[in-house]
Amino acid sequence: MKMLKDKHVVITGGGSGIGASISEILAKSGAKTTIMGRNYKRLQEKTENLPNGFAVSVDITDHKKVKIAFQNAVQQHGVIDILVNNAGNAISVPFEKLNTKEWNDMITLNLTGVFHCTKACLPAMKKQKWGRIINIASTAGLKGYAYVTAYSAAKHGVIGLTRSLALETANTGITVNAICPGYTETGLTENAIENISLKTGITKSEAREELLKSNPQKRFIQPEEIANTVLWLCKIDAESITGQAISISGGEVMS
- List, by residue number, the catalytic residues: 151
3 state DSSP class of 164: helix
> From CA 39, how far away is CA 11, in angstroms rounded?
14
Burial of 210 (C-beta count, 10 Å sphere; 0-12/13-18/19+): middle
β-bridge partners, 35: 11, 55
3 state DSSP class of 96: helix
Angle at 28 between CA 26 and CA 139, to 5 degrees: 35
Rg of the chain taking only CA atoms, in angstroms: 18
42-79 CB burial, b ≥16 within 10 A, e <16: bbeebbeebebbbbbbbbbbeeeebeebbebbbeebee
> From CA 29, how far away is CA 237, in angstroms rounded?
15
Alpha helix (H) ranges present in the chain?
17-28, 40-47, 63-77, 100-107, 113-128, 149-168, 187-200, 204-212, 223-234
> From CA 193, how far away is CA 81, in angstroms rounded?
37
